[in-house]
Structure 1
Amino acid sequence: MTSPPAGTDGSAASGHVRLPVYEGLVRELGDVLAETREVAERTERQLRQVLPRPRTRPAPAPAPR
């Protein structure tokens, strides 16, 4: 396996690796990973509004000896 070329075009030298096949799929089909992340974050926010917050309970008293 070879390393990506170093350069200023978004390659390894600038800390990014270009993935032309993935970029093409994103242009054609949309960024499924980003959309999934957004839906998960929105769902988490909605659940926080709907579900009751956990109550903190005092620690149980030590058992008598």
Structure 2
Amino acid sequence: MPAAARNSEPGDRPVKVRTGAEQPWDPEDLAVAEGRDPTPKNVERSRRELEELGAAAIEKTVP
């Protein structure tokens, strides 16, 4: 259980844990998040990764 959820007072709304994959990602963003320069080659690699793995491509980089 996340620390924020454990520290809440009784009756408080539960804390929703967000992950990086809950928002849309562009291939350029993924390339940069992976520590790569957004060159055409790296952007294409990230595009394929997003297409093949979907949210998992982001989760493995930005949990």
Pairwise same-fold verdict (TM > 0.5): no
Question: Which TM-score applies when normalising by structure 2?
Answer: 0.26
Q: TM-score of the superposition, structure 1-length normalised?
A: 0.25
Q: Which has the higher contact order (CA 8 A, sep 6+)?
A: 2
